[in-house]
Structure 1
Amino acid sequence: MDWDKLRIFHAVADAGSLTHAGDVLHLSQSAVSRQIRALEESLNTTLFHRHARGLILTEQGELLFDATSAMKKRLDTAEARIKDSEEEVFGELRVTTTTGFGTLWLAPRLPAFYDKYPDLKIDLMLEERVLDLPMREADVAIRMKEPSQADLIRKKLMAVRMRLYATPAYLDQNGTPEHLDDIANHRLICQSPNSTQVGAGASLAQHLMTYDLKSLLTVNNYFGVLQGVLNNLGIGILPDYLIEDFPDMVRVLPDIESGEVPVFLAYPEELRPSKRIAAFRDFVQDEIIAHRRRLKLNKNN
């Protein structure tokens, strides 16, 4: 198959319109149409259903689009590796992590990363779904468990525990629980049992829900749980890494916590030489080391 025609086909399928694809490719609509028609003739099939609102892929078109999408991801990887120089870090870096870790820990630290690498463009994808790194859905991932996908370089960053926190204002008004049974007299704020979350956090929440709770607020991510706690709504189950950024938060029932949750950084083996990946990896590791030192210093003081 003609590579140029495949490139044009992919742009049309992605845009859903000959006109929009032409704008992206800097070609006229008629030129794009001729190339698509020639590709269909060479394959002896119809790739698009045409209607007034645009183009819809046929079953055969879907198969070809899957193939060209995979090709584009591989080409993007090759381009990124070629552009990575030995001395400069630039281009686009696609980072995926959970909503909680991304909003509560990573995003507040990115200004320091941008100060060091101002020419780098970061696409931060926050979602609980595990993206396919070998298929180039993202360049690097930070996840709350060891990735199981093949051909990945993995680095354990730290271990997290889920603990109970509340604001001084909430505790002044509602009292501080001294024993686990006292939790029944408070509103618990936690992730919804139906939401995707780390198993250790879910187990702790399920255990606390066995008590006859006065009230309950569930949210589908830890950022929402934090907002509930900060607004004095109750006692929240939150990851221990956020306490550095919210030093006024009070840990409640210090003997109660989840099991360890490992935090891993991972990226495809083929991106091992990438200077962008190395810069981000080293930055995250340095931030975690500094985070631990500050927590240890505060504890000793």
Structure 2
Amino acid sequence: MAWDDFRLVKAVADSRSLTGAADALGVNHSTVFRRLGEIEKRLGTPLFERHRAGYGMTPAGEEMVALAERMERDVLEFSRKLAGQTLTPSGEVRVTTNDTMLLYLLRPVFVSFRAQYPDIRLDVVISNAALNLSKRDADIAVRPTDNPPETLVGRRVASLQWALYGRRSEFGDAVGHAGLDPATLYQRPWVSLGDQFSHFKVARYVRDHVDPERIVLKVNTVLGLTEAVEDGIGLGHLPCFIADQRPDLVRLSPINPDFAPGVWLLTHPDLRASPRIRAFLDCAAAELVKLRPALEGERPFRREPALA
């Protein structure tokens, strides 16, 4: 049955006459009479009893009018919400990211998001593997990548810049100074990302320039890599937004833009119109743009020639 059928039956019930219903609906008397007869025929039962005082509802008519009133209330409530912009996103959003992004980047994002959208719950999944957003393993992925999957949509909010770092106790504060001979640095112990990160340009750089015997430690997390450099195990390339917060580390080279993957907010095309997904993407993008200077390593230091 169509919504117009319910409206017609309710109009007859409200006015107790075909003429009153016709006036309310903006149609003529014969149209109401014909359509009411068609509705009763389809239902196989009368909806009204005709008598001198007007049209009185049968039990079936009362049921239909009650349903029509509920439908009308729901439509009106929805219209009010839209008019008053009170359609608040709610539910759960599942976000996948890695441990580094969570600890150093997304905490202020989550704080801001929860303050703006208290009716949305966050389920954060920490993984260095790319979860399948098509299968709803997660709703949103926050990832550093050069090549986001073609099956996903999203936005690049910043570049994640890397540079070479070592212990301040060994190199002092003369960041990137001319005395750092690349050939000498290549003879030192190095730490690097594990083979599962071979698609990162910074990992390929170490593999191509440093003798394998000099790479004394490989690790599959950026946090582990950072700790290894800070502990003096070896030199290593690190994201500037992490390493620059560590007072025991010093930058030994200028930023190499070729190493920088993008920081992406990604979701499945079928989810991007969801109010709660849209709310998180917009909030996260706004917060991450504020952190762009740190992500892109914009802090004063002498830009000497990079390692060859």
TM-score tier, shorter chain, comes to 0.5 to 0.7
**Aligned: 1:200 with 2:204:** no
Q: Percent identity?
A: 24
Q: One-letter code of the match for 2:280?
A: F
Q: One-letter code of the match for 1:183?
A: L
Secondary structure at the counterpart of residue 201 of structure 1: helix
Q: One-letter code of the match for 1:179?
A: D
TM-aligned CA deviation for residue 235 of structure 1: 2.0
TM-aligned CA deviation for residue 109 of structure 1: 4.4
Q: 1:283 to 1:93 in 2, by over 3 A?
A: same
Residues 6-29 of structure 1 deviation map (CA, whole Å, 9 limit, x = unaligned): xxxxxxxxxxxxxxxxxxxxxxxx
RMSD value, Cα: 3.4
Tell me what 2:149 maps to: 148
Q: 1:298 to 1:277 in 2, by over 3 A?
A: same
Tell me what 2:279 maps to: 279
Tell me what 2:288 maps to: 288
Q: One-letter code of the match for 1:141?
A: A
Tell me what 2:241 maps to: 241
TM-aligned CA deviation for residue 197 of structure 1: 5.2
Q: One-letter code of the match for 1:136?
A: R
User: What is the CA–CA distance in structure 1 between the aligned matches of 2:276 and 2:100, rounded to whole Å?
Assistant: 24
TM-aligned CA deviation for residue 276 of structure 1: 2.1
TM-score by length of 1: 0.59
Secondary structure at the counterpart of residue 253 of structure 1: coil
User: What is the CA–CA distance in structure 2 between the aligned matches of 1:113 and 1:89, rounded to whole Å?
Assistant: 12
User: What is the CA–CA distance in structure 2 between the aligned matches of 1:282 and 1:260, rounded to whole Å?
Assistant: 23
Tell me what 2:128 maps to: 128
Contact 1:163–1:258 under 8 Å retained in 2? no
Contact 1:163–1:257 under 8 Å retained in 2? no
Residues 77-130 of structure 1 deviation map (CA, whole Å, 9 limit, x = unaligned): xxxxxxxx9543432211112343334322464333333334432222222322
Tell me what 1:190 maps to: 192
TM-aligned CA deviation for residue 219 of structure 1: 1.0
TM-aligned CA deviation for residue 245 of structure 1: 4.0
Q: How many residues align?
A: 212
Q: One-letter code of the match for 2:193?
A: Q
Q: One-letter code of the match for 1:129?
A: A
User: What is the CA–CA distance in structure 1 between the aligned matches of 2:247 and 2:118, rounded to whole Å?
Assistant: 30
Structure 1 residue ranges without an equivalent (≥5): 1-84
Contact 1:189–1:229 under 8 Å retained in 2? yes
User: What is the CA–CA distance in structure 2 between the aligned matches of 1:140 and 1:99, rounded to whole Å?
Assistant: 15
Contact 1:169–1:232 under 8 Å retained in 2? no
TM-score by length of 2: 0.57
Tell me what 1:97 maps to: 97
